[in-house]
Structure 1
Amino acid sequence: MPNARKLSPRNISPSIISTAALAISSAINFLGVMLWVRILSPQQFGIFALLSSSALFINALAFEWIRTMVARLLYDASSPYLVNKRKSFLMLLLVASIAAVLLILSLAAYLSDVTVGGMNATLLPIVVLYAISEMAITMINSTSRVRMLHWQFFASMVFRSALVIVVGYVFVVHLRLGAEGLALGTALAQFGAVILICLVDPVWRKFSARAMLTSYRGADFREIFGFGGPLIVSNGLTYLVSIIDRYLIAAFLGSMWVGFYVAPLDLTAKTIGILMLALNIVFYPAVVRAYEDQGRDVARRKMEENLAVQLLLLSLPVVLLTSFPGEVCRVVLGHNFSTESRYILPWLTISVAFRVLISNFIMIIFQLEKKTTGVALAPAISLVTVVPLGLLGMWLDGIRGMAIAAAAAQAFTWAVCLVAAKRAMPVRVVGPDVVKILGIDAALCLLAWALPRPQDAVYLIVDAAIIGAAFVVLALVVRLQALAPILALVRRRR
């Protein structure tokens, strides 16, 4: 065909590249979870979960507010690299300064043999290195997305995931360093991915420390701290809410039960969480540009459409994980974890589903309208709700009580924050598409209940394929408006 475009990396849709990056990297991460639960005991896996959670909490508190500003404030259509040079240098200076302070403090604690938060001095440098490596890889990925370097983002995501498994396996199996080795190996692997991107990206190769120290203005400081200051608290609270349950379990039940709890939680994060992240990576820059370039009403309509797409994408994984928890845990997590984890997987699935809806819908509304106090509302409500409910739940029913409490807290937070978000931006939540999607969910649940319980991986895949086929058929039959752009694209490709 003379008019057909030749398929090459340059004419592949950016959304396809970003989605592929998330799909491949999450698949590798998923295999990583399956590997770690088979070579680490529940107690060692629980210790690793606590180490990684501490590192990611430091990252959320110290660096995540800057990463959020990268996505919200760094875009500049008039710049050759699509980023504001002065602000980018200022943000880089802030990152470097905070990282230096954390390293100095961790080294001082190590030399003084100080215990911080129940963590001995030997582990503190590992946790800080992990936190800084997480910051570095997320900053690299965020700037790549802002600059629309989609293949660079793809390379970073996939290489990082693969390298974590290779280095982590060496540290755990061959060097026999256990949970500490897996945390250290993850940090080193992430630094390796960052170095690779810096070597191939001409902007990073031309980096100048002098320019970083002299290229910004006082107005940049005021804008960044005016918008980002409240995010320090909100991001810290947001991540604290996502990990407080494992700290409560460690304090009252022990690290072994943290392992039983976190294994299915990681399973939901590597499925539901990554699926929603893939959508958000494509959607968030687009809605920011729509808000800035086309106005508030256009952004509001995009938010309403995006909510329907989120609910549609959540349908299939939520139904499968809540309908076949025992079978999924046995296949994915193995026998060491499935006996206890199967009872909490449905509740953790519900909790994570509400959490991603809060992050990818309500939080985006607050960020678009620059309602920074609203951004802190959701984690504050979750925190004051989940702690008493979690303590009561563990007293009544162990880790399952904690999982039920987490689901209830997230549902309550969604309901309260939705009211506040609608005041900031009057979005319509219950539209025709949402009603149809909820009907699809109910039909899929009935189908899953009617199917025989799968006895092994093959039958589980068959049941998942049947439910997946029903999902596709129902989504097409009810003519969801959210699918209209996708169907139009398919027709054009024919």
Structure 2
Amino acid sequence: MAVIAAFVINAGLNFVLGLLIAKLLGPADFGRFALATTGAIVLNTVLFEWLRLSATRFYSGRVRVDEPWIRHGLDRAYLRLGILLAAAAAICGGFGFGEGADGREAVLCGTGLAALGIGVFDYHAALARARFDGKLYLGLVAVKNVLAFVMMAGAAWFLPQPAWVLAAAGLSQFLAVVILRHPLRDPVSSFERGRLPATWGVFARYGLPLIAANAAYQLLSFVNRGAVAGHAGFTEAGYFALAADVTSRVLTTLGTALDLLLFQIAVHAEEHHGRAAAEAQVARNAATVFALLAPCAVGFWAVLPALQGLVVPEAYRGPFETYSIALMPGLFCLAMMFYAVNPAFQIRRRTVPVIAAALVGLGLNGIGLVVLPPVFGGIGVALAQTLGLAGACLWLGWRALTGSDRLVLPWGQIGLAALACAAMGLALAPFRGLPPAMALAVLVPLGMGLYGALVWAFDIAGLREQVMARLRPAQAVAAE
């Protein structure tokens, strides 16, 4: 639970920091910063994500002691790739020295440093999670967030150029690992160089197919932000970026937290009861994910005007709500792919359909970029992204739900959740026009109360039974 709590806190603080950076930089520079940040995430995914995924799969408390070559292989792969990335960033910085922090080379240097910092931090956070060391993970998140607030906000205030803020982002994450390097270490053991090639081969076969799909979706986001800038300028790209970041975090924060728990339950079912039990658990998990993510999307739509009026910087108001509404369906489809549909292929160890779905999404997004922006301007890019992500989700869902080994979902429970969300949306719609503070005071408790009552009354996705199961041990202890 400490891991899930730390993840949610981290996402919330990143959301607040993103709003602060947007305010300090202004729409145009924030558009450049957001585009470069997306590039840093893509770079981190391409270079390091296969190793992070391998850490979560092959590293554990037992492996830490009994199979030290796993950590040796991870560390040395990160070290070699990190040196290459740092050298490339230094070269970009050297070429851009005479042009100042506003130059393209300086932004590329900052992008490389941000990618390096993200990669180092994510790797060590994955090690802490794999060891089930919630205290260490929470400490990493806390130290990183304190450093990020101080360094990134300070850079945006005193040196308001995207390159400096990017460099501060990378350095803050790297320093968090340096500060906690001692508890992150493994026991000293002899290094077996001969094991490296085979170990790296295992990592590559496991991780590379998975990151190909993730990189494709991140490339889609990167291309779309660049397309907005090309069609309507960097100010419009800033509007698009803030709406996309906030909307995606609303959906992916809860989805990722659920995935940390639910996928491991499916893996446990496979280990103890076989593949059929694991796939049945994946199907139940999918219903749970839908029953929790769908009301989040509806609730976010309901509070958008109030959120815009209270916390969104004034320069972004108006376009923020418009872009958020256009992007929300596609981002919801992306979250359902990641946390409800992908696990079916992960359990089966068949990742080609996941990659193919990403290519479908890229293709549809590309068609949308050709057709929609000339007609609708910047908002056409948002619609193209929604088209691509929805198409990818439909294609992957079709692959998972058809054929002889199709996944059998509890459609009745999913339908009940959809009807409950529709009822909640209809009940909340009349209150969206209230003054922002009053709207939040009414919408949040009303939406939670109404949906919670429907879930409890009809045991949607088995959520009532899961809550009662957790309460029964505590009630038994109290009775004793």
Q: TM-score, normalised by structure 1?
A: 0.88
Aligned to 1:165: 149
1:369/1:452 CA distance change after superposition, 3 Å? closer
Asked if structure 1 preserves the Cα contact closer than 8 Å seen for 2:109 and 2:163, the reply is: no
Looking at structure 2, the residues matched to 73 and 393 of structure 1 have their Cα atoms a distance apart, in angstroms, of: 45
Structure 1 CA distance, aligned partners of 2:64 and 2:200? 23
Work out the CA distance in 1 between the residues paired with 2:225 and 2:302.
Answer: 24
Give the conservation status (yes or no) of the 8 Å contact 1:19–1:278. yes
- Report the AA paired with residue 389 of structure 1: G
CA contact (8 A) 1:87 1:216 kept: no
% same residue: 18
Match of 2:397 among 418, 433, 436: 418
Q: Counterpart in 2 of 1:279?
A: 258
Contact 2:49 2:207 in 1 (8 A): no
Q: Is the 8 A contact 1:246 1:262 kept in 2?
A: yes
Judge which range, 139-148 or 25-34, deviates more.
Answer: 25-34
Partner-residue secondary structure (3-state), 1:121: helix
When residues 240 and 85 of structure 1 are mapped into structure 2, their CA distance, relative to the original with a 3 A threshold, is: same
Aligned pairs for 1:198-237 (under 5 A) are 198-203=181-186, 206=187, 211=191, 214=193, 216=195, 218-237=197-216
Q: Which residue is 1:446 aligned to?
A: 426
**How far off its partner does 1:113 sit?**
5.2
Counterpart contact for 2:372–2:381, Cα < 8 Å: yes
Trace 1:309-328 onto structure 2 (pairs within 5 A): 309-328=288-307
Structure 1 range deviating more: 285-294 or 308-317: 285-294
Q: CA deviation at 1:251?
A: 2.3
Rounded Cα–Cα distance in structure 1 between residues aligned with 2:407 and 2:57 = 21
8 Å CA contact 1:344, 1:400 repeated in 2: yes
Asked if the contact 1:367–1:375 (Cα under 8 Å) also holds between the matched residues in 2, the reply is: no
Q: Given the alignment, which residue of 109, 131, 138 partners 1:154?
A: 138
1:470 aligns with 2:450: yes
Deviation per CA, 1:230-277, whole angstroms, max 9, x where unpaired?
345333223212332112112222211111001111111332111111
Give 1:62 deviation, angstroms: 1.0
Matched, 1:490 2:474: no
- Structure 1 unaligned segments of length 5 or more: list them: 1-15
The reply to whether residue 143 of structure 1 matches residue 100 of structure 2 is no
How far, CA to CA, are the matches of 2:417 and 2:236 in structure 1? 36
- Kindly provide the CA deviation profile for residues 346-400 of structure 1, in whole angstroms up to 9, marking residues without a partner as x: 2222221111111122222222222232231122111111122134222121222
Could you tell me which amino acid in structure 2 is paired with residue 390 of structure 1?
L
Q: Pick from 253, 270, 275: which aligns with 1:291?
A: 270
Please say if 1:54 is aligned against 2:17: no
Tell me what 1:4 maps to: none
Cα deviation for residue 207 of structure 1 reads: 6.1
Equivalent of residue 3 in structure 2, options 18, 37, 46: 18
- 1:454-480: CA deviation from partner (whole Å, max 9, x where unpaired): 212232232221111111111101112
Once the two structures are overlaid, the 10-residue window that deviates more, 391-400 or 229-238, is 229-238
Structure-1 residue corresponding to 2:168: 185
Q: Do the aligned residues in 2 keep the contact of 1:71 with 1:285 (CA within 8 Å)?
A: no
* Contact persistence 1:40–1:178 (CA under 8 A): yes
TM-aligned CA deviation for residue 123 of structure 1: 2.2
The residue that corresponds to 2:71 in the other structure is 88
Q: What is the letter of the counterpart of residue 105 of structure 1? A: A
Q: Please, which of 132, 157, 174 is the counterpart of residue 116 of structure 2? A: 132
Q: Against the structure 1 CA distance between its residues 471 and 296, is the aligned structure 2 distance closer, same or farther, given a 3 Å change threshold?
A: same
**Residues 188, 80 of structure 1: alpha-carbon distance in 2 compared, 3 angstrom cutoff:** closer
Which of 11, 15, 37 is the aligned partner of 1:30?
A: 15
Cα distance change of structure 1 residues 108 and 29 upon mapping to structure 2, 3 Å threshold: closer
Partner of 1:107: 90
**Residue in 2 aligned with 1:252?**
231
Contact map agreement 2:121 2:173 (CA 8 A) in 1:
yes
Question: Which residue identity lines up with residue 342 of structure 2 in the other structure?
Answer: M
Does the CA-based 8 Å contact 1:378-1:413 persist in structure 2? yes
Superposed CA RMSD: 2.5
- The more displaced of 39-48 and 216-225 is 216-225
Between stretches 284-293 and 335-344, larger displacement belongs to 284-293
Answer with 262-271 or 220-229: which moved more. 220-229
User: Aligned AA for 1:35?
Assistant: L
Number of aligned residue pairs: give it.
Answer: 470
3-state SS in 1 of match to 2:322: coil
Tell me whether 452-461 or 136-145 shows the greater mean CA deviation.
Answer: 452-461
* Counterpart for residue 349 of structure 2: 370
**Partners of 1:269 and 1:247 in 2: CA distance:** 18
In the alignment, residue 489 of structure 1 is paired with which amino acid?
Answer: R
CA–CA distance in structure 1, aligned partners of residues 95 and 64 of structure 2: 48
Label 1:464 to 1:299 Cα distance change in 2 as closer, same or farther (>3 A). Answer: same
AA aligned to 2:336 is L
- 2:332 is the alignment partner of 1:353: yes
SS at match of 2:195: coil
- The whole-number CA distance in structure 1 between the counterparts of 2:56 and 2:45 is 15
Distance 1:226 1:463 in 2: 48
1:107, 1:46 → 2: CA distance? 24
Deviation at 1:49, TM superposition (A): 0.1
Q: Deviations over 1:422-467 (max 9, x none)?
A: 4595322352211110111111111122335221223223222111
**Residue identity opposite 1:162 in structure 2:** V
C-alpha separation in 2, matches of 1:60 and 1:409: 20
State the 1:218 CA deviation. Answer: 4.5
Could you say which residue in structure 2 is the equivalent of 1:479? 459
